[in-house]
């Protein structure tokens, strides 16, 4: 399938998943569909403007609008506040099946072959990234760190597995680093990576995968590279 056709197929699957997101609106004002809100939010990251405000300004121009509408088929472009109101109540896990949808399309189209490198395996890099930090705002899902100055930071982070190879990459379902029920100790990158391997290892072992980890994750194995055997059960 040509690249453009593959992209359109992925967007179509994305739209299908997003259209079934739970809609918490109770009134009759349903001007925007959930998929329009979610695709508008996604296009922020796709087009990589410096901020949501810059994105909104770009959307006000003809070029931005045509990008969101032609690339992602967004019918109506909601404002950033409308997007937040619609998407904030949606648990992120509701969007997770999209990652498997995309992986299956790549597999069916034979596009995963282009990602194979070391020993003909897919290299899956597990790495953590912080996406929120504050010394004033916090919630029940925050992790906490105390600096040498005595100041306390609350933050949110996530392990973001990615199939990597020279020239291209493919994001896989993430694992959030959040306090776990029944655990006194704070969650961390390594335990989140272990959870991911336990949950998804069997699926990826079928694809012949080599897992890469940096120093934070490498303690799972002594060398930082794990080949998942085909008999992996988590």
Q: Which residues bind Zn ion (CB under 5 A)?
A: 139, 141-142
- For the bound state, the minimum distance from the C-beta of residue 53 to Zn ion, rounded and expressed in Å, comes to 23
- For the bound state, the minimum distance from the C-beta of residue 56 to Zn ion, rounded and expressed in Å, comes to 25
Are residues 217 and 193 in contact, defined by beta-carbon separation less than 8 angstroms?
yes
The rounded distance, in Å, linking the Cα atoms of 234 and 228 is 10
Torsion of CA 225, 195, 122, 228, to 10 degrees: 60
Looking up tokens 């982070």 gives 157
- For the bound state, the minimum distance from the C-beta of residue 155 to Zn ion, rounded and expressed in Å, comes to 8
Q: In the structure encoding, which two tokens stand for residue 201, read together?
A: 């290892």
Nearer to Zn ion, 139 or 171 (CB): 139
- For the bound state, the minimum distance from the C-beta of residue 57 to Zn ion, rounded and expressed in Å, comes to 29
Nearer to Zn ion, 43 or 143 (CB): 143
- For the bound state, the minimum distance from the C-beta of residue 160 to Zn ion, rounded and expressed in Å, comes to 18
Nearer to Zn ion, 60 or 130 (CB): 130
State residue 181 phi and psi, 5-degree precision: -60, 135
Are residues 185 and 204 in contact, defined by beta-carbon separation less than 8 angstroms?
no
Nearer to Zn ion, 164 or 188 (CB): 188
Distances (CA, A) of 109 to 44, 79, 103, 215, 222: 27, 36, 10, 35, 36
Nearer to Zn ion, 188 or 220 (CB): 188
């Amino acid at each position: 399938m040509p690249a453009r056709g593959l992209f359109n197929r992925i967007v179509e699957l994305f739209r299908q998943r997003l259209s079934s997101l739970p809609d918490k609106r109770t009134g009759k004002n349903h001007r925007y569909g959930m998929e329009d809100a979610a695709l508008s939010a996604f296009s922020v990251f796709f087009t990589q403007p410096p901020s949501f405000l810059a994105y909104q300004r770009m959307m006000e121009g003809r070029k931005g609008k045509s990008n969101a509408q032609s690339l992602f088929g967004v019918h109506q472009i909601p404002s950033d506040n409308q997007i937040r109101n619609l998407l904030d109540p949606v648990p992120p896990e509701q969007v997770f099946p999209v990652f498997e949808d995309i992986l299956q399309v790549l597999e069916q189209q034979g596009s995963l072959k282009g990602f194979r490198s070391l020993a003909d395996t897919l290299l899956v890099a597990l790495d953590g990234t912080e996406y929120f930090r504050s010394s004033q705002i916090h919630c029940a899902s925050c992790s906490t760190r105390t600096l040498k100055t005595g100041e306390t930071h609350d933050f949110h982070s996530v392990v973001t597995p990615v199939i990597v190879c020279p020239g291209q990459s493919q994001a896989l379902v993430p694992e959030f680093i959040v306090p776990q029920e029944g655990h006194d100790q704070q969650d961390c990158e390594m335990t989140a990576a272990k959870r991911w391997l336990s949950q998804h290892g069997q699926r990826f072992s079928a694809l012949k995968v080599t897992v890469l980890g940096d120093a934070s994750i490498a303690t799972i194995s002594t060398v930082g590279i794990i080949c998942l055997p085909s008999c992996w059960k988590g």
